Amino acid sequence: MKVLILNDPEAAIERAGDIVSGAVRARPRTVLGLATGGTMLPLYDDLVARHDAGLLSFAGATTFNLDEYVGLAPDHPCSYHRYMRQAFFDRVDLDRARTHLPRGDVADPQGEAEDYERRITEAGGIDLQILGIGRNGHIGFNEPTASLGSRTRIKTLTDDTRRANQRYFSSFEETPRYAITIGVATILDARATLLLATGEAKAEAVARMVEGPLSAACPASALQLHPNATIVLDAGAASSL
Ligand code: GLP
Protein backbone atom coordinates (compact mmCIF):
# COMPACT_ATOMS: atom_id res chain seq x y z
CA MET A 1 0.00 0.00 0.00
CA LYS A 2 1.31 3.42 -0.92
CA VAL A 3 -0.12 5.98 1.51
CA LEU A 4 0.14 9.63 0.44
CA ILE A 5 -0.73 12.25 3.05
CA LEU A 6 -1.42 15.78 1.80
CA ASN A 7 -1.86 18.88 3.93
CA ASP A 8 -5.44 19.70 3.01
CA PRO A 9 -8.40 18.28 1.08
CA GLU A 10 -7.65 20.43 -1.98
CA ALA A 11 -4.12 19.03 -2.27
CA ALA A 12 -5.44 15.47 -1.81
CA ILE A 13 -8.00 15.98 -4.58
CA GLU A 14 -5.35 17.39 -6.90
CA ARG A 15 -3.03 14.45 -6.25
CA ALA A 16 -5.87 11.98 -6.89
CA GLY A 17 -6.68 13.91 -10.09
CA ASP A 18 -3.04 13.59 -11.17
CA ILE A 19 -3.18 9.82 -10.69
CA VAL A 20 -6.43 9.39 -12.65
CA SER A 21 -5.22 11.71 -15.44
CA GLY A 22 -1.93 9.84 -15.62
CA ALA A 23 -3.74 6.51 -16.04
CA VAL A 24 -6.06 7.86 -18.75
CA ARG A 25 -3.25 9.51 -20.68
CA ALA A 26 -1.07 6.40 -20.47
CA ARG A 27 -3.89 4.25 -21.83
CA PRO A 28 -6.65 6.18 -23.63
CA ARG A 29 -8.80 3.00 -23.84
CA THR A 30 -8.53 2.60 -20.10
CA VAL A 31 -11.26 0.91 -18.05
CA LEU A 32 -11.99 3.08 -15.02
CA GLY A 33 -13.83 1.90 -11.94
CA LEU A 34 -15.78 4.87 -10.57
CA ALA A 35 -17.15 5.71 -7.13
CA THR A 36 -19.85 7.98 -5.76
CA GLY A 37 -20.27 9.82 -2.44
CA GLY A 38 -19.52 13.35 -1.29
CA THR A 39 -15.75 12.81 -1.29
CA MET A 40 -15.75 12.15 -5.03
CA LEU A 41 -17.57 15.33 -6.09
CA PRO A 42 -14.48 17.59 -5.98
CA LEU A 43 -12.46 14.87 -7.74
CA TYR A 44 -14.98 14.87 -10.62
CA ASP A 45 -14.78 18.69 -10.68
CA ASP A 46 -10.99 18.42 -10.91
CA LEU A 47 -11.19 15.93 -13.81
CA VAL A 48 -13.78 18.07 -15.62
CA ALA A 49 -11.52 21.14 -15.25
CA ARG A 50 -8.61 19.23 -16.81
CA HIS A 51 -10.94 18.06 -19.60
CA ASP A 52 -12.23 21.61 -20.21
CA ALA A 53 -8.67 22.91 -20.33
CA GLY A 54 -7.96 20.44 -23.15
CA LEU A 55 -5.55 18.43 -21.00
CA LEU A 56 -7.56 15.23 -20.74
CA SER A 57 -9.94 13.23 -22.91
CA PHE A 58 -12.14 10.34 -21.83
CA ALA A 59 -13.29 9.61 -25.40
CA GLY A 60 -11.68 6.17 -25.47
CA ALA A 61 -12.44 5.20 -21.88
CA THR A 62 -14.91 2.67 -20.50
CA THR A 63 -16.31 3.10 -16.98
CA PHE A 64 -17.91 0.80 -14.44
CA ASN A 65 -19.37 2.21 -11.25
CA LEU A 66 -19.12 0.37 -7.98
CA ASP A 67 -22.73 0.23 -6.95
CA GLU A 68 -26.38 1.32 -7.12
CA TYR A 69 -29.31 1.24 -4.70
CA VAL A 70 -31.80 -1.57 -5.23
CA GLY A 71 -35.22 -0.19 -6.15
CA LEU A 72 -34.11 3.15 -7.59
CA ALA A 73 -34.64 3.81 -11.31
CA PRO A 74 -31.83 5.58 -13.19
CA ASP A 75 -33.78 8.87 -13.22
CA HIS A 76 -34.49 8.81 -9.46
CA PRO A 77 -32.95 11.99 -8.02
CA CYS A 78 -30.98 10.00 -5.42
CA SER A 79 -29.79 7.21 -7.74
CA TYR A 80 -26.10 6.83 -8.48
CA HIS A 81 -27.03 6.90 -12.19
CA ARG A 82 -28.28 10.44 -11.69
CA TYR A 83 -25.28 11.38 -9.51
CA MET A 84 -22.86 10.20 -12.21
CA ARG A 85 -24.65 12.03 -15.02
CA GLN A 86 -24.63 15.28 -13.06
CA ALA A 87 -21.16 15.00 -11.55
CA PHE A 88 -19.28 13.61 -14.52
CA PHE A 89 -20.86 11.89 -17.53
CA ASP A 90 -22.72 14.93 -18.90
CA ARG A 91 -19.66 17.15 -18.44
CA VAL A 92 -16.94 15.24 -20.33
CA ASP A 93 -16.43 13.54 -23.71
CA LEU A 94 -17.10 9.99 -22.50
CA ASP A 95 -19.00 7.75 -24.91
CA ARG A 96 -22.17 7.12 -22.88
CA ALA A 97 -22.50 3.64 -24.43
CA ARG A 98 -19.34 2.71 -22.55
CA THR A 99 -20.47 3.96 -19.12
CA HIS A 100 -21.87 1.25 -16.88
CA LEU A 101 -23.73 1.13 -13.59
CA PRO A 102 -25.77 -1.74 -12.21
CA ARG A 103 -29.53 -1.19 -12.63
CA GLY A 104 -31.28 -1.04 -9.28
CA ASP A 105 -34.83 -1.19 -10.62
CA VAL A 106 -34.80 -4.60 -12.32
CA ALA A 107 -37.07 -7.54 -11.46
CA ASP A 108 -34.06 -9.79 -10.84
CA PRO A 109 -31.32 -7.82 -9.03
CA GLN A 110 -29.24 -10.95 -8.43
CA GLY A 111 -29.28 -11.72 -12.18
CA GLU A 112 -28.33 -8.10 -12.87
CA ALA A 113 -25.41 -8.41 -10.43
CA GLU A 114 -24.10 -11.55 -12.13
CA ASP A 115 -24.49 -9.93 -15.54
CA TYR A 116 -22.60 -6.83 -14.33
CA GLU A 117 -19.67 -8.93 -13.13
CA ARG A 118 -19.62 -10.63 -16.55
CA ARG A 119 -19.60 -7.27 -18.34
CA ILE A 120 -16.54 -6.17 -16.32
CA THR A 121 -14.73 -9.38 -17.28
CA GLU A 122 -15.71 -8.99 -20.95
CA ALA A 123 -14.32 -5.43 -20.95
CA GLY A 124 -10.96 -6.90 -19.93
CA GLY A 125 -11.19 -6.00 -16.23
CA ILE A 126 -10.69 -2.67 -14.48
CA ASP A 127 -7.40 -0.80 -14.99
CA LEU A 128 -7.84 1.76 -12.20
CA GLN A 129 -10.49 1.38 -9.51
CA ILE A 130 -11.30 4.64 -7.71
CA LEU A 131 -12.68 4.18 -4.20
CA GLY A 132 -13.99 6.15 -1.26
CA ILE A 133 -14.38 4.64 2.21
CA GLY A 134 -17.39 4.47 4.50
CA ARG A 135 -17.08 5.42 8.18
CA ASN A 136 -17.42 1.74 9.00
CA GLY A 137 -14.66 0.71 6.60
CA HIS A 138 -16.88 -0.23 3.66
CA ILE A 139 -15.69 0.02 0.06
CA GLY A 140 -18.36 0.18 -2.63
CA PHE A 141 -21.25 -1.13 -0.54
CA ASN A 142 -19.23 -4.02 0.85
CA GLU A 143 -20.30 -3.59 4.44
CA PRO A 144 -18.44 -5.10 7.42
CA THR A 145 -18.47 -8.93 7.28
CA ALA A 146 -18.53 -8.88 3.45
CA SER A 147 -16.51 -11.85 2.24
CA LEU A 148 -13.08 -10.91 0.97
CA GLY A 149 -13.77 -13.30 -1.92
CA SER A 150 -17.08 -11.67 -2.86
CA ARG A 151 -18.25 -10.79 -6.39
CA THR A 152 -20.99 -8.43 -7.58
CA ARG A 153 -24.15 -9.14 -5.59
CA ILE A 154 -26.84 -7.63 -3.37
CA LYS A 155 -25.78 -6.35 0.04
CA THR A 156 -27.93 -5.26 2.96
CA LEU A 157 -26.89 -1.82 4.11
CA THR A 158 -26.10 -1.28 7.78
CA ASP A 159 -28.10 1.29 9.74
CA ASP A 160 -24.87 3.29 10.13
CA THR A 161 -24.42 3.54 6.36
CA ARG A 162 -28.11 4.33 5.88
CA ARG A 163 -27.81 7.11 8.46
CA ALA A 164 -24.69 8.48 6.70
CA ASN A 165 -26.50 8.50 3.35
CA GLN A 166 -29.84 9.68 4.74
CA ARG A 167 -28.89 13.29 3.92
CA TYR A 168 -29.69 12.61 0.28
CA PHE A 169 -33.18 11.20 1.01
CA SER A 170 -36.24 12.67 2.69
CA SER A 171 -35.98 10.38 5.72
CA PHE A 172 -34.21 7.36 7.20
CA GLU A 173 -37.17 5.19 6.20
CA GLU A 174 -36.86 6.36 2.59
CA THR A 175 -33.14 5.49 2.51
CA PRO A 176 -32.74 2.20 0.63
CA ARG A 177 -31.95 -0.97 2.56
CA TYR A 178 -30.19 -2.87 -0.22
CA ALA A 179 -27.65 -2.14 -2.91
CA ILE A 180 -26.01 -3.98 -5.79
CA THR A 181 -22.25 -3.66 -5.32
CA ILE A 182 -19.21 -5.10 -7.00
CA GLY A 183 -17.44 -7.47 -4.61
CA VAL A 184 -14.24 -7.18 -2.61
CA ALA A 185 -12.60 -9.74 -4.92
CA THR A 186 -13.81 -7.77 -7.96
CA ILE A 187 -12.10 -4.69 -6.51
CA LEU A 188 -8.91 -6.63 -5.78
CA ASP A 189 -8.85 -7.82 -9.43
CA ALA A 190 -8.37 -4.21 -10.64
CA ARG A 191 -4.85 -3.66 -11.93
CA ALA A 192 -4.52 -0.59 -9.69
CA THR A 193 -6.67 0.96 -6.97
CA LEU A 194 -6.86 4.55 -5.74
CA LEU A 195 -8.70 5.23 -2.48
CA LEU A 196 -9.38 8.86 -1.60
CA ALA A 197 -10.43 9.91 1.90
CA THR A 198 -10.70 13.40 3.32
CA GLY A 199 -11.78 14.72 6.71
CA GLU A 200 -11.48 13.55 10.30
CA ALA A 201 -14.74 11.61 10.14
CA LYS A 202 -12.85 9.02 8.09
CA ALA A 203 -9.76 8.88 10.34
CA GLU A 204 -10.75 5.79 12.32
CA ALA A 205 -11.80 3.81 9.23
CA VAL A 206 -8.56 4.82 7.50
CA ALA A 207 -6.47 3.65 10.46
CA ARG A 208 -8.26 0.29 10.49
CA MET A 209 -7.74 -0.06 6.73
CA VAL A 210 -4.03 0.75 6.80
CA GLU A 211 -2.85 -0.45 10.21
CA GLY A 212 -5.51 -2.84 11.39
CA PRO A 213 -5.60 -6.59 10.88
CA LEU A 214 -6.76 -7.89 7.51
CA SER A 215 -10.38 -8.60 8.34
CA ALA A 216 -13.85 -8.78 6.84
CA ALA A 217 -14.82 -6.54 9.80
CA CYS A 218 -13.13 -3.73 7.82
CA PRO A 219 -13.55 -4.58 4.12
CA ALA A 220 -11.16 -1.78 3.08
CA SER A 221 -8.35 -3.67 4.87
CA ALA A 222 -8.48 -6.11 1.93
CA LEU A 223 -6.55 -3.44 0.01
CA GLN A 224 -3.51 -4.50 2.09
CA LEU A 225 -3.43 -7.53 -0.22
CA HIS A 226 -3.37 -5.45 -3.40
CA PRO A 227 0.06 -5.09 -5.05
CA ASN A 228 -0.75 -1.67 -6.54
CA ALA A 229 -2.98 0.16 -4.04
CA THR A 230 -2.58 3.89 -3.49
CA ILE A 231 -4.32 5.67 -0.62
CA VAL A 232 -4.57 9.47 -0.88
CA LEU A 233 -5.43 11.24 2.37
CA ASP A 234 -5.63 14.76 3.71
CA ALA A 235 -4.29 15.50 7.19
CA GLY A 236 -7.73 14.99 8.78
CA ALA A 237 -8.27 11.52 7.32
CA ALA A 238 -4.69 10.59 8.28
CA SER A 239 -5.00 11.91 11.85
CA SER A 240 -5.36 8.50 13.53
CA LEU A 241 -2.41 6.87 11.74
C1 GLP B 1 -21.32 5.34 -0.17
C2 GLP B 1 -20.69 4.71 -1.41
C3 GLP B 1 -19.21 4.46 -1.21
C4 GLP B 1 -18.56 5.70 -0.65
C5 GLP B 1 -19.15 6.04 0.69
C6 GLP B 1 -18.53 7.25 1.36
O7 GLP B 1 -21.70 4.45 0.79
N8 GLP B 1 -21.31 3.48 -1.78
O9 GLP B 1 -18.63 4.09 -2.46
O10 GLP B 1 -17.17 5.49 -0.52
O11 GLP B 1 -20.53 6.30 0.48
O12 GLP B 1 -19.20 8.39 0.96
P13 GLP B 1 -18.80 9.88 1.33
O14 GLP B 1 -17.69 10.20 0.40
O15 GLP B 1 -20.03 10.68 1.05
O16 GLP B 1 -18.38 9.88 2.74
Domain boundaries, the chain: 2-234
Any ligand 1 atom below 6 A from CB of 67 = yes
- What does the alpha-carbon distance between residue 127 and residue 119 come to, in Å, rounded to a whole number? 14
Cα 118 to ligand 1 centre (Å): 24
The tens digit of pLDDT for each residue in 54-88 reads 999 999 999 999 999 999 999 999 999 999 999 99
Using CB atoms within 10 Å of the CB of residue 215, give its burial: 0 to 12 exposed, 13 to 18 middle, 19+ buried. middle
CATH number of 2-234: 3.40.50.1360
ipTM: 0.95
The tens digit of pLDDT for each residue in 157-216 reads 999 999 999 999 999 999 999 999 999 999 999 999 999 999 999 999 999 999 999 999
Which atom in ligand 1 lies closest to the alpha carbon of residue 67? 8
Phi, psi of 20 (to 5 degrees): -65, -45
